Structure 1
Amino acid sequence: MTNWLPNLSNGTGPLYMRLADHIETAISNGELAAGTKLPPQRNLAYDLGVTIGTVSRAYSVVHERGLVSGEVGRGTYVNSRHTPTPSVHIGQAANTSNAAVSAAETKQLSKLDTTAAPTVGQGVLIERHLSDIMAERAAQVASYARDFPEEWSIAGARWLAQNGWTPSPENIVPTIGAHAAVMGIIGAVTSPGDRIAFEHLTYSQISRSAALAGRRIALVDSDENGIIPEDFERVCAQQHPKMIFLMSSGQNPTSTTLPLERRKAIADIAHRHNVWIIEDNLYGAMCRDDIPLIAQLAPEQTFLVGSLSKSVAAGVRGGWVACPPHFGTRVRTAHKMMTGGLPFLLAELCARLVLSGDAHRIRQDCIAEVNAREQMVRQIFSGLEFNSNPDIAFVWLKLPEPWLSGTFRNAARKEGILIDDEDEFKAGRSEKVYHRVRISFSAPNTREELARHLHTLRRLLDNGSVSYDSMA
């Protein structure tokens, strides 16, 4: 075993990435020779003054780079390297051959890392509407979408309606899906340098995109009932965010739903501190709860976002924003500037799906399929701890000992299954460790195929001592 100890004050980025890069550098320059045993995680964490989770994640990264391997009961050792293979870091592009291999490998893996709408025969209806559009509106399809027909906004208002409340069509903006909708809102009402508040765990692609656009991230604590109003108040008082992004129902990845009291409290805090609210209702549109939306409680400061991705067809890429009064034009302009504009074919297809009632019928079929699959997950994962909602196509699973989140993700990948570890959902740098993974179940074509994958994961979970070979 080596007495090697890196200096993490050198370098940039998260501590675990700094540590991983230091390990790779030490291996490359011979400081850590082939066969060298790395320090035990707990010892190195103590010597560096970091959490064991930081060291575990760093070791996981260098294991993925092929630099080390673990042996149960013996430790983690530096691999022999006959031909140096450059690693790909954040911000660097992989070379063409590596990218092709990665793409080919991923294509063969079973995707339990996506929550897109399950296949329930919607292709037939979508094909019919596309054929009608091409027959009736070929000239518009061949050109840019310069006008926004009233039907597009009426469809959006109908799709975003919930529990007896319907937004006004005049405040609706059609968008290229929910992600583009959120970025359009951010571009419309915030400026570079402004802070946007997120829960520690959330749909992190939004926080990463916001950071790329020059916005700063503020993190708000949550518990088993969702975002904690008192901590949101603290963040507002100390960091003065311009906006907060949240999912009030079916939160991704925890599946929690905010109680009415918290929704009212968050709306009140946002009002007092002049904070805009983005309410992402993609999963909420699938849930069968009767709690009013925050957009209904505070329409003057809330942007409500919805799309067809989880409940009709993700590939259609259609969505809508219900804006506070007089903000529609600003959001529409920002959305166009950030995306290049709305394709006529996409917007017309989404409107026809909704106004014909086909989108609603597909959503009901998707919910029924998700219900059946969620019951299957409950049976196969019986005895394990996890969060779920019968109408949402994922579970937030607490890993039994000795599994770590990244390690279990890697073990699942070796079995040909893609899942998401907890780091995928962290909105910013956080030392919080949850020991959880998100397992989605809408992608497999059949329930039988899904059952095979779930049984494989259950076997891994129950035999951690046998399969836990990437850490030691």
Structure 2
Amino acid sequence: MTISPFDPSDIAARRGPRYRAIADALRDAVKMGTVAPGTKLPPLRDLAYALGVTVGTVSRAYALAASRGEVAGEVGRGTYVLGGGVHTRNGTGVGSAAFLTLPEATEAAMKAALAPPAGQTEIAGAAMAALLAEEPERNRPSPFNTYLAPGGEARHRQAAADWLAHDGFAPKAEELLVCSGTQQAILTAILTATEPGDLILTEELTYHAMVQQAALMGRRVAPVDIDEEGLVPEALERAAREQNPAALFVVPTLQNPTSAIMSEARRQQIAGIARAGDFAIIEDDIYGKLVSDRPLPIAHFAPDITFLATSLAKSVGCGLRVGFLKPPPALFERARAIQHGQGQTVPPLMADLATHLIETGDAAAVRDRITAEMEARHRMTARALHGQKMTAHPASLYVWIELPQSWRAHAFVEAARTRGVAIAAGEDFMVGRTDRASRHVRLAIGQPQTRDELQRGLDTIAALLSESHIGIAVPA
């Protein structure tokens, strides 16, 4: 079965992951004129069936096409080819984020791994007022009338060093770059450590934005097996030997989406394998500050080959958009030049605000409130979903649920959406696999603005879990 412009034999013959082959086939068809602007693309399920791939693979392909400005998705209407016409010039093709965003949930939004409200607005507001009150006495340019130096000023980087330090890990201010969030830090690391065409290994379930960043930069991504502790060293060693990677991307603390925490011993193993295989490590530690007794980062054991990326997004508030990157010393200046070249300098006022929050202890206070709130929300979740197969950690912003045999992830996500609850399908986190998470979903229990909203969402999910995908109650 062929659905124009997607020929299964043509797509199978293309190198690289299936989602990229599908997106490239569409791009080629548009360039050749065989698909005209305004053409409506097949629904995800129809194309997935025709090509023998998962719905998640087709969704990722459409997302990549959207990020290129080639298609646009409209809720309730479908996905349309933009080509080079007026839609592209008017900015309709705004990228994969717009394509993947679900309609606003009417009961509970539980899709994005956001920290819960914990007094951030009041604390940050008071801090901002204090900064503005000091403005007349400043002996440096106003944050409203200057750009931040590439990588941040010394005081910003010192605050970052203080924030990152724990146990025996004590980075120096001059080793750090201030970034516009963890995503920019990760992108900077990818561009610094790899070249177009290089392979990046990662957990078979991982942060989807990194996969998109790598693809957009012309890098390949391949999966490595994980277990209850995260990345499996033996699998990494085998993949390194067979595939010659340039880098490894890993989330060792509160792995996304499983919440796994890698032991210190395994972190040392991973560092040793990377050093022996001569590839870099990109360590995403964005959730690290939420865990009070977390192990030392991989960067502590292999500082010469590890890029440590993190931010205040999950432990204070995502609106700050302030993150930090610790590159290997030999690549520091290259990383700083690449970051500067991206043109995403951190707004000086945000850098000042983040520094103020760290220096006064307000950032730590917010973090403590967040962890206390998450512990309460995990108790609520355990009660509401009692008896379900779940993986979680008391500090994690999400829970990973294995669905009953009667459900598949995307059908469950769609059923939840129709009842006003937005959640993420396990397939959204898969790298190159078609079955690893087809019966899992992630609930971002930190995102609901109130516990009442969370409870409504949990009640809806609990009800769905007791049904089959055709709405028939499952016998107890």
TM-score class normalised by the smaller sequence:
0.7 to 0.9
2:458 — aligned with what? 454
The residue number in structure 2 matching 1:321 is 325
Q: Paired residue for 1:384?
A: 388
The residue identity in structure 2 corresponding to 1:190 is: T
The answer to whether the 8 Å contact 1:218/1:241 transfers is no
CA contact (8 A) 1:200 1:430 kept: no
Q: Distance in 2 between matches of 1:171 and 1:357?
A: 22
Q: Is the 8 A contact 1:207 1:428 kept in 2?
A: no
8 Å Cα contact 1:373-1:441 kept in structure 2:
yes
User: CA shift at 1:101, angstroms?
Assistant: 12
1:297 is aligned, of 286, 296, 301, to 301
Counterpart amino acid of residue 120 in structure 2: Q
Shift in Å at residue 58 of structure 1? 8.6
The amino acid of 2:8's aligned partner reads L
Q: Within 5 Å, which residues of 2 pair with 1:338-353?
A: 338-353=342-357
2:227 pairs with 1:223: yes
- Residue 400 of structure 2 is aligned to residue 400 of structure 1: no
Instruction: Tell me the distance in 1 between the aligned counterparts of 2:246 and 2:92.
Output: 43
Give secondary structure in 2 for the equivalent of 1:396: strand
- Which of the two has higher C-alpha Rg? 1
Q: State the distance in 2 between where 1:461 and 1:182 align.
A: 36
User: Residue 29 of structure 2 aligns with which residue?
Assistant: none
1:140 aligns with 2:132: no
Bigger mean CA deviation after superposition, 217-226 or 143-152: 143-152
1:129 is aligned to 2:127:
yes
Partner of 1:445: 449
The equivalent of 2:9 in structure 1 is 9
Change (3 A) 1:403 1:356: same
Partner of 1:283: 287
Secondary structure at 2:405's aligned position in 1?
coil
**Matched-pair contact (CA < 8 Å) for 2:19–2:58:** no
Tell whether 2:368 aligns with 1:364.
Answer: yes
Partner residue, 2:65: none
Residues 4-27 of structure 1, C-alpha deviation per residue, up to 9 Å, x if partnerless? 787621447738996xx9xxx9xx
Assess, with a 3 A threshold, how the Cα gap between structure 1 residues 445 and 264 changes in structure 2: closer, same or farther: same
Change beyond 3 A, Cα 1:102–1:162 = closer
Equivalent residue, structure 2, for 1:67 = none
Cα 1:58–1:199 change in 2 (3 A) is: closer
Shift of 1:257: 1.1
Counterpart-to-counterpart distance in 2, 1:85 and 1:447: 34
Q: Where do 1:57-456 residues align within 5 Å?
A: 87-88=79-80, 105-106=103-104, 108=106, 110-135=108-133, 136=135, 139-146=142-149, 148-428=152-432, 430-456=434-460
Distance 1:102 1:359, change over 3 A: closer
Q: In structure 2, give the amino acid aligned to 1:8.
A: P
| Contact 2:411–2:469 (8 Å) recurs in 1 | no
SS in 2 for 1:234: helix
Q: Flag structure 1 segments of 5+ consecutive residues without an equivalent.
A: 33-37, 62-83
Secondary structure (helix, strand or coil) at the match of 1:141 reads coil
- 1:32-84 CA-to-partner distances (Å, cap 9, x unmatched) read 9xxxxx9xx9xx89xx8x5xxx36769999xxxxxxxxxxxxxxxxxxxxxx9
| Alignment check: 8 A CA contact 2:304 2:330 kept | no
Name the amino acid aligned to 2:116: P
| One-letter identity of the residue aligned with 1:124 | E
- For the residues of structure 1 that align with 2:149 and 2:93, how far apart are their CA atoms? 41
- Counterpart Cα distance in 1 of 2:59 and 2:186: 32
Q: Cα 1:249–1:338, aligned 2, differ >3 Å: closer, same or farther? A: same
Q: How many residues align?
A: 420
Distance 1:132 1:257, change over 3 A: same
Q: Deviations over 1:164-190 (max 9, x none)?
A: 421121101111100100111112222
Q: Distance in 2 between matches of 1:307 and 1:358?
A: 15
Deviation by residue 1:446-467 (Cα, 9 ceiling, x = unmatched): 2122111101110011012553
Letter paired with 1:350: A
Residues of 1 paired with 2:142 and 2:211: CA distance? 38
User: Do 1:398 and 1:435's aligned partners in 2 also have CA atoms closer than 8 Å?
Assistant: yes
State the SS of the aligned residue for 1:115.
coil
Give the Cα separation in 2 of the matches to 1:58 and 1:208. 13
Amino acid of the structure 2 residue aligned with 1:415: R
Matching residue's letter, 2:127: H
Percent identity of the aligned residues?
A: 32
Q: Secondary structure at the match of 2:293?
A: coil
CA gap 1:103/1:297 in 2 versus in 1, 3 angstroms:
closer
Pairwise CA distance, 1:283: 1.4
Code of the aligned partner of 1:320: F
Distance 1:286 1:229, change over 3 A: same
Alpha-carbon distance between aligned partners in 1 of 2:105 and 2:415, rounded to the nearest angstrom: 18
Tell me the CA shift for residue 424 of structure 1. Answer: 1.6
Once residues 385 and 234 of structure 2 are traced to their aligned partners in structure 1, the CA distance between those partners, rounded to angstroms, is 35
Q: What letter corresponds to residue 326 of structure 2 in structure 1?
A: A
Identify if the C-alpha distance between structure 1 residues 297 and 352 changes in structure 2 by more than 3 Å, giving closer, same or farther.
same
Q: Does structure 1 conserve the Cα–Cα contact (< 8 Å) formed by 2:56 and 2:427?
A: no
Aligned mates of 1:305, 1:122 — CA distance in 2: 22
Larger RCO, structures 1/2 (Cα 8 Å, 6+ apart):
1
Letter in 2 for 1:122: Q
Change (3 A) 1:361 1:408: same
TM-score, normalization by structure 1: 0.80
TM-score (structure 2 length as normaliser): 0.79
Structure 1 range deviating more: 154-163 or 285-294: 285-294
Residue pair 1:224, 1:256 contacting (<8 A) in 2 also: yes
Relative to structure 1, the CA distance from residue 273 to residue 103 in structure 2 (aligned partners, 3 Å threshold; closer, same or farther) is closer
